[in-house]
Amino acid sequence: MAKLYFKYGAMGSSKTAQALITKYNYEENDLRVWLLKPVTDQRDGLCTIRSRIGLEAEAETIAPQQNVYEIFASRRDADVVIVDECQFLTPEQIDQLRKIVDDFSIPVLCFGLRTDFLTKAFPGSARLLEIADNIEEIKTICDCGAKATVTARIDGNGYVVTHGDQVFLGGNDAYIAMCHRCYIKSIEEHRVVKLHTH
């Protein structure tokens, strides 16, 4: 039976790489993949998904006002739907993905962040936590060795940022995965955090 999957992790947990590997595995079995990303994420170009380890693929971009269900229903040309950076989808679009699963028995796999740099849930992620059939954490570690659960935003001087817009696109130069303890200590002690810019 088809399911709606939410696979989340902090920055640097290989979410995009896993999405692209999943795409490859389906295609190796002669299954057609509809690879999507929200138009919000244009770091690698409008129609490209690229992982930090160098994997990449062309993807269709979805704008907030688009109805994902209607697009799929008009084409029905995929056996599976894979979404990268799903946190940027609207809650309504998450419901539309749910409807694809229910009406067409097509698995939908969503990869993305659970929370923003202030540990608040993204609206798309919150909806996935409410209605996904399968929720799986993709783990990564903090510099201290503990499990990282926070995607901290870092300013140009290396300090943890505690205010600003929820959406600010960046990579290793702007975000770092941290455990909650180190995140809070970095804020309280106003200490410089080492970014991983390799």
Q: How confident is the model at residue 23 (pLDDT cuts 50, 70, 90)?
A: very high
Per the domain annotation, does 195 fall within a domain?
A: no
The 10s digit of each residue's pLDDT in 138-151 is: 999 999 999 999 99
pLDDT at 173 (0 to 100): 65
189 is catalytic: no
Determine the structural domain holding residue 173 and report its residue range.
150-188
pLDDT at 188 (0 to 100): 87
pLDDT at 175 (0 to 100): 83
Given the residues 58, 60, 85, 188, the one annotated as active site = 85
pLDDT at 43 (0 to 100): 66
Same domain for 121 and 154: no
Please state the domain count of the chain.
Answer: 2
- The more confident residue out of 11 and 69 is 69
Same domain for 159 and 100: no
| 0.75 surpassed by pTM | yes
Same domain for 89 and 13: yes
pLDDT at 153 (0 to 100): 86
Residue 112's CB is within 10 A of a number of other CB atoms, namely: 26
Rounded CA-CA distance 171/126 in Å is 23
Same domain for 80 and 121: yes
Distance of CA 18 to the CA centre of its chain: 11
Per the domain annotation, does 142 fall within a domain?
A: no
DSSP state letter for 118 = T
The 10s digit of each residue's pLDDT in 148-169 is: 999 988 888 888 888 766 665 5
Per the domain annotation, does 197 fall within a domain?
A: no
Per the domain annotation, does 194 fall within a domain?
A: no
Dihedral sign from CA coordinates of 5, 83, 32, 51: negative
Per the domain annotation, does 193 fall within a domain?
A: no
Per the domain annotation, does 198 fall within a domain?
A: no
Q: How far is CA 120 from CA 100, 124, 126, in A?
A: 27, 12, 9
| 116: CATH | 3.40.50.300
The 10s digit of each residue's pLDDT in 83-133 is: 999 999 999 999 999 999 999 999 999 999 999 888 899 999 999 999 999
The 10s digit of each residue's pLDDT in 33-54 is: 999 999 876 666 667 777 877 7
pLDDT at residue 6 is higher than 80: yes
Same domain for 155 and 124: no
Same domain for 130 and 161: no
**Mean pLDDT, residues 13-42:** 90
pLDDT at residue 198 is higher than 50: no
Same domain for 132 and 154: no
